[in-house]
Copies of this chain bind each other. A is one copy, B any other.
């Protein structure tokens, strides 16, 4: 059915190895036989079998990507750049979407290992909950890169300076006169908390433990948290800690309650996603360099594949405040 090197060899009167040499542009073959073989290959519509090549070379020329939610425009944009960088380097991308399900994340990574991808990029959504499959990758020396970090394990990663982002966000809010700024920690909260505290300090505002609210994952988590914020006596005037995608949900909740942004509640996002500037109330947010994140994670992974024993490459990228309207004017 499908044509193999053997077929071409038979028809051109050479050995399979010679065909391999011709097709892979190797030396030690004469111009003439090479041309003859290439011509015959084209005539037979030969398609190299990458599976067989992978088995022989122990290299699949494919990378794995594990992400929580492609529907989040931030993830989508990063994915776009991961894909383009991968294909530029002749790698294909095997994608798994976990929906924040840790079991599926674990299963996805194991599946990628069995499929013998050359390396894996993981956007691990919960920095503080380690996952067995990732520990295994580390232990077995399987090349992988984290987008973000996982606590308690020394790995290659590309991440954002979250403390810096949180600092900029909180400082912005404080500068506008907000004193009670609720801090919703969905994940990576502990990184952000440093920046949050620092900005409060500089603004002469005391840190209030009751203002930091731990969210459960998923959109319900957001709703619950907003509820808690609104129920507080001495109600906060601003909320920080959600990413743009989550802020969208928060806006919806507030809207349903007849509360206006930013008059009744200031909101600040994280990511600076495509639609952020197009919202009813354009979103003030912390921009992340998505192209860089994507590009660098692939580049680091490829380096790791070359030198698996090299000490971890770790990149920390800077985020940047983008002021729009969701935090409003100066208070009073």
Is A50 among interface residues, defined by CB-CB distance under 8 A?
yes
Contacts of A70 in B (CB 8 A): 70, 76, 79-80, 83
Is A111 among interface residues, defined by CB-CB distance under 8 A?
yes
Closest partner residue, chain B, to A49 (CB atom) = B116
Looking at A36-44, A52-60, A184-192, the stretch in contact with chain B turns out to be A52-60
Cβ–Cβ contact A115 & B76, under 8 A = no
CA A94 to CA B111, docked complex, whole Å: 13
Is A95 among interface residues, defined by CB-CB distance under 8 A?
yes
Residue from the list B51, B83, B115, B275 in contact with A92, Cβ < 8 A:
B115
Return A7 CB to nearest CB of chain B, in Å.
Answer: 15
Cβ–Cβ contact A115 & B55, under 8 A = no
Q: State the number of copies, please.
A: 2
Cβ–Cβ contact A114 & B49, under 8 A = yes
Is A154 among interface residues, defined by CB-CB distance under 8 A?
no
Residue from the set A48, A49, A252, A275 with the largest chain B CB neighbour count within 10 Å: A275
Contacts of A97 in B (CB 8 A): 79-80, 83-84
Give the number of residues in A that approach B within 8 Å (Cβ atoms). 48
Is A328 among interface residues, defined by CB-CB distance under 8 A?
no
Beyond A71-B80, A280-B278, is A50–B114 a contact (Cβ under 8 Å)?
yes
Cβ–Cβ contact A51 & B278, under 8 A = no
Closest partner residue, chain B, to A136 (CB atom) = B45
Contacts of A183 in B (CB 8 A): none
CA A54 to CA B62, docked complex, whole Å: 15
Return A66 CB to nearest CB of chain B, in Å.
Answer: 11
Beyond A94-B62, A94-B93, A114-B49, is A71–B280 a contact (Cβ under 8 Å)?
no
Closest partner residue, chain B, to A52 (CB atom) = B55
CA A60 to CA B49, docked complex, whole Å: 12
Q: What sequence of 0s and 1s flags, for each residue 128-163 of chain A, a beta carbon within 8 Å of any chain B beta carbon?
A: 000000000000100000000000000000000000
Residue from the set A69, A95, A110 with the largest chain B CB neighbour count within 10 Å: A95
Return A282 CB to nearest CB of chain B, in Å.
Answer: 8
CA A292 to CA B62, docked complex, whole Å: 29
User: 8 nearest interchain CB pairs?
Assistant: A275-B275, A50-B115, A83-B97, A95-B95, A50-B114, A70-B76, A51-B116, A51-B54
Cβ contacts A to B, 23 pairs, < 8 Å: A47-B110, A47-B114, A49-B116, A50-B115, A51-B51, A70-B70, A70-B80, A70-B83, A71-B274, A73-B73, A80-B97, A83-B95, A83-B96, A84-B99, A87-B96, A87-B104, A87-B108, A92-B96, A92-B111, A92-B112, A95-B95, A248-B278, A252-B278
